[in-house]
Structure 1
Amino acid sequence: MLLWKEMPMEMENGTSVQEFTLEGFPVVQHVGKVLFMVHLLAYLASLTGNVVIVTITCVDSRLQTPMYFFLSIFSIGECCFTSSVIPKLLVIFLLVRQTISFPACFIQAFVFIFLGAAGFLLMAVMSVDRYVAICKPLHYPTIMNLRTSLLLVAACIALGLTLITVLVVKVSQLSFCGPHVIPHFFCDLGPLIHLSCSDTRSVEMLVFVLTSCILLASLIITIIAYSNIVVTIVCLPSAKERRKAFSTCSSHLIVLSLMYGSCVFIYVKPKQTNRLESNRGAALVNTVLTPLLNPVIYTLRNKQVHQALRETMCRIKISR
């Protein structure tokens, strides 16, 4: 990283920009301190909610199942995902410090997109987990054992890491000769490509193809899994069993809808330079609102989590 910072202004790939300026939200910057407080509270609430899910999963033996293991990994990823963007946004709102170095910008883009891609792949794995639990309950303990769960999580991380590394490296090799103002509140690939003075058509197509593959692959797996789940639920003999089976999937489906809605809007279009302003709003939903709602959705609709939380709180009170 030090070598990169010490390189001359005119680098081999034609880049003459050593830092970028994040535009943020200039229209509402005059109320920056208010927005700072709102986003700080949302950020802290998101971190708290996800940490609570991870904690109760670890301390309550009844929640130490593949379903809650995947949920806790997803919660850890959400903490890192929102932390890759929101601290810088808070600095912009409070101190109006909008500059970010060239290496830091691409590191932020890589971490953000990698965690997002891994999150989608993990959601597909969670769909498969629900499919096995509902459609093949007798074989569930042998199919979804600890080794299989760890391998599935490792596969999500490895696949996301490989694809996103290729993507970010290709974008970083473009020439950036000015302007250096990114019309966004963090370093995302679309706005970065828009700033390049190179021919970006091949890179834009690569972004479109790889992001579409990740989103569509996870979506197809989810659709297949839930199609089988619906058929199985419909065939259950009693309404009580049907409600119980559906309740274990409803939270997952709500979270999926929130994630796919914003990400498809932002990334799945061939021309990345279009709709940058509207992308900023969708990205705010994806980085602030969705990580905040995820723990709420999972805890409000889950009786096991409710019971584990109550018992944990009781143990804390007794220990005092």
Structure 2
Amino acid sequence: MLNITVAVSEFLLDCAIIPGQRSLTVAALILVYVVSIIGNVLVIIVVKINQQLHSPMYIFIGTLAIIDLANSTIIIPKMLAIIQFDYTVISYEACLAQMFGIINLEQIVALLLALMAVDRYIAVVYPLRYPSIVTRNLVVVVISVLPVFSIVLHISYLVYTTELSFCHTNVLPYCLCDYATLVHASCNEDPKYLSLLSIMVMVLGILVLFSYVIIFHVALKIKSGNRNNKVISTCVSHLLVVLLFYIPPLASYVLPQSGLQVTSEKYNLISILSNVIPPMLNPMIYSFKNKDIQGSVYRLFTRKRLAGEPGDH
């Protein structure tokens, strides 16, 4: 039987939720959104106003908080509107714009996590040379280039998306216009549409994991017990963030290609978790365990002068 391509002017977002759990899902998303907003805004404020937190590592952390804030604001309100009010219709152009925005934010986060892993690698393996290798100006330039690099990198996916044919349905079994979901819903079977994305995710993931394996190896050789424990604790926290970010989307890309059938409810759960949980947990894992940021938050709420402000001695 021949596939008949139909002209698609709009999509229906079928945000499949386990029956009886819609209210619970809405309440959970609202809670996650509020926590994400508070946590990331707090990180941005303390990194901005405390001069002592303008070092490369904290610039990375502040940038991650900005991206997480943007990610949560773009994704969660739209999910809530779909689940609670059934705003499921989205035009073809708006769907592509949403897909392109989400995939770029995800790519920037992936690149940022890789840069943070390399930063920690240099700090641990070459501690004496670190200040001369990783300068604040270098970090600012690299971070400024990330959005441009990501957009150029993903032009190919935008082209791929316009090539997709929807001969069976215009219903997308997900809460958002996600690139992988569009590919799965189309009748195109060319592996190029997902293979490049899967390779990119795996390459960056391997780079990050390789960096932390070496860091662990070096940390175990450090004779100073306190520094050893600090390095290992930091690495464990960072690895947790990386795993939370990489495992769910990688599963959504790889599982369907491996022939394993995933129900719409489970696919939605995997995708929702990968999009909304990391922005909520990143401030807690990266920032609020850090003594410098803890001190800055304490001073902010107790109205005490922050270290590095005029008047400090």
TM-score > 0.5, shorter chain as reference: yes
Which segment drifts farther, 35-44 or 93-102? 35-44
Alignment of 1:163 onto 2:150: no
CA distance in structure 2 between the aligned counterparts of 1:241 and 1:174, rounded to whole angstroms: 53
CA contact (8 A) 2:216 2:235 kept: no
Match of 1:143 in 2: 133
SS of equivalent to 1:131: helix
Gaps of 5+ in 2: 306-313
Change (3 A) 1:122 1:68: same
Q: Which has the higher contact order (CA 8 A, sep 6+)?
A: 2
Q: How does 1:186-265 map to 2 (within 5 A)?
A: 186-197=176-187, 200-202=188-190, 204-209=191-196, 211-265=197-251
TM-score normalised by structure 2 residue count: 0.87
Q: Quick one: distance in 2 between partners of 1:103 and 1:276?
A: 27
Task: Kindly indicate whether residue 279 of structure 2 is the aligned counterpart of residue 291 of structure 1.
Answer: yes
TM-score by length of 1: 0.85
Shift of 1:286: 0.9
What's the CA shift for 1:316?
A: 7.2
Q: How many angstroms apart in 2 are the aligned matches of 1:26 and 1:184?
A: 10
From 106, 124, 129, the equivalent of 2:114 is 124
Matched residues, number: 301
Unaligned runs of 5+ in 1: 1-13
- Specify which of 16, 19, 27 is matched with residue 7 of structure 2: 16
Instruction: Map 1:25-44; keep pairs closer than 5 Å.
Output: 25=16, 27-28=18-19, 32-44=22-34
Paired AA for residue 262 in structure 2 = R
1:313 is the counterpart of 2:264: no
Query: Residue 73 of structure 1 corresponds to which residue in structure 2?
Result: 63
Distance 1:225 1:82, change over 3 A: same
8 Å CA contact retained: 2:40, 2:283 = yes
Instruction: Summarize deviations over 1:2-48 as a string: whole Å, max 9, x none.
Output: xxxxxxxxxxxx652211111112543x6645533331221121122
Match in the other structure for 2:308: none
Q: Does the CA-based 8 Å contact 1:57-1:69 persist in structure 2?
A: yes
Aligned to 2:310: none
2: CA distance, partners of 1:67 / 1:253: 16
Aligned CA-pair RMSD: 2.5
